[in-house]
Amino acid sequence: METIQRDNLGPAKIIQLYDPQSGLRGILVVDNVTLGPAIGGVRVSPTVSPLEVSRLARAMTLKNAGAGIDHGGGKAGIIADPHTADLEPLFRAFARMIAGIDEYIPGPDMGCDEQAMVWLQEEIGRSVGLPAELGGLPLDKLGATGFGVVACAEVAARQIGLPLKGARVAVQGFGNVGVAAARYFVEKGAIIVAVSDSRGTLHDPGGLDISRLVAAKREQGVLFKYPGGRQLPVADLFGLACDILVPAANPDVIDMQNVAEVKARLILQGANIPLTLEAEAELARRGVLVIPDFIANAGGVIMAAMEYRRKSAEEAFAYISEKIQANTERLLDKAKKEVRLPRAAAELLARERLESGMRYRSWSHKWR
């Protein structure tokens, strides 16, 4: 059985929570707080385990360091079924039990929402992902991650001599990230030639109308009610002719089985780990530029950090654009100079930032 690994980055704290009065069973992992207090979501799931939480906490350490924000990485889990459990007493008990761990700032993750963040805020005065009415920056409504994907595309496309104006884009997954990315690509003059959801792909080489797609999905629940385009099976999206591909749904969708079909010149990872490492290496060999998830999809986490600092949505968008573009440039420069895969270069940049910070700051430093 796989066990939690410790290395030079962490995890600094692994805490199991148990409160029989509320029924709370939970886990908190604070991985690394060199760069600032850890930000990471609270996952509510009947199967969430210390190992899963510690891996997610490490992913947050690298993501936050890679994004260039002054936050460390952490994550929490509440062991409960989000569909059947009474979440309020669980969240309030969770908050009281982590009240003293100031170096962890909770945010939303699978199985909870902005209401849960309000309960945490009421109990301990800290959380991100609050509703707009209470000073939050609702990153999915604002489309922060999709906006960041397109900011990243501007730099990456320039690197391969591809103008965004007129570029043909295919987007897998028509949810928070996919819809926002499609909208911002259209603002830059790109043409959305294909989109998919869990039920199928819609293709039109002449360009799909995003507003009408959103209306079709909202009113009928399916993209296929869109008047126009060609309907194809879900998996066909990856092989369609396009310049830019944005996988924005689930993990491992491009692997060694279908990588040969991919025709795009640039892939921006809107979802987390949508490509296997082997497929990323194969695409690099073919000269396809792949920008890894924790650089391309960092818009959401950057917006959460801006919410914590009480910034406005306008300030947050400007900061996302500035940070993601600078990070993409740095990443491409490092990948080129050191002949590395972009993912390896991005991880190295994040680790270098953490390791140089750790030379100055002690692990037991108290963040408030």
List contacts with ligand NAD (CB under 6 A): 139-140, 145, 172-178, 196-198, 234, 248-250, 270-272, 297, 300
Question: Which residue matches tokens 């993409």?
Answer: 328
Name which of 166 and 233 has its Cβ closer to ligand NAD.
Answer: 233
Choose the catalytic residue: 75, 217, 263, 336: 75
Name which of 127 and 176 has its Cβ closer to ligand NAD.
Answer: 176
User: Could you give the maximum distance between any two Cα atoms of the chain, in Å?
Assistant: 61
Comparing CA positions, the residue from 94, 93, 55, 100 lying closest to residue 74 is: 55
Pairing of strands 200-203, 230-232: antiparallel
Q: From the CB of 116, what's the least distance to ligand NAD, in Å?
A: 16
Q: From the CB of 233, what's the least distance to ligand NAD, in Å?
A: 10
Name which of 272 and 276 has its Cβ closer to ligand NAD.
Answer: 272
CA 183 to chain centre: 18
By the 10 Å C-beta count (0-12 exposed, 13-18 middle, 19+ buried), 243 is classed as buried
Name which of 92 and 201 has its Cβ closer to ligand NAD.
Answer: 201
275-311 burial, b at 16+ Cβ within 10 Å, e below that, comes to: bbeebbbbbbeeebbbbbbbbbbbbbbbbbbbbbeeb
State the CB neighbour count (10 A cutoff) for residue 71.
27
Comparing CA positions, the residue from 229, 222, 283, 226 lying closest to residue 255 is: 283
Catalytic status, residue 13:
no
Query: Is 26 in a helix, a strand, or coil?
Result: strand
Name which of 24 and 152 has its Cβ closer to ligand NAD.
Answer: 152
Q: From the CB of 298, what's the least distance to ligand NAD, in Å?
A: 8
Q: From the CB of 206, what's the least distance to ligand NAD, in Å?
A: 22
The torsion angles phi and psi of 13, rounded to 5 degrees, stand at -140, 135
Nearest residue to ligand NAD, scored by beta-carbon proximity: 175
Rounded to an integer, what distance in angstroms lies between the CA atom of residue 208 and that of residue 228?
8
Q: From the CB of 359, what's the least distance to ligand NAD, in Å?
A: 30
Q: From the CB of 47, what's the least distance to ligand NAD, in Å?
A: 17
Q: DSSP letters along 104-166, please? A: EEEEE-TT--HHHHHHHHHHHS--S---GGGT---HHHHTHHHHHHHHHHHHHHHHTT--STT
- Cβ neighbours of residue 186 closer than 8 Å, sequence gap 6 or more: 192, 210
Query: Is 191 in a helix, a strand, or coil?
Result: strand
Which residues are identified as catalytic? 75
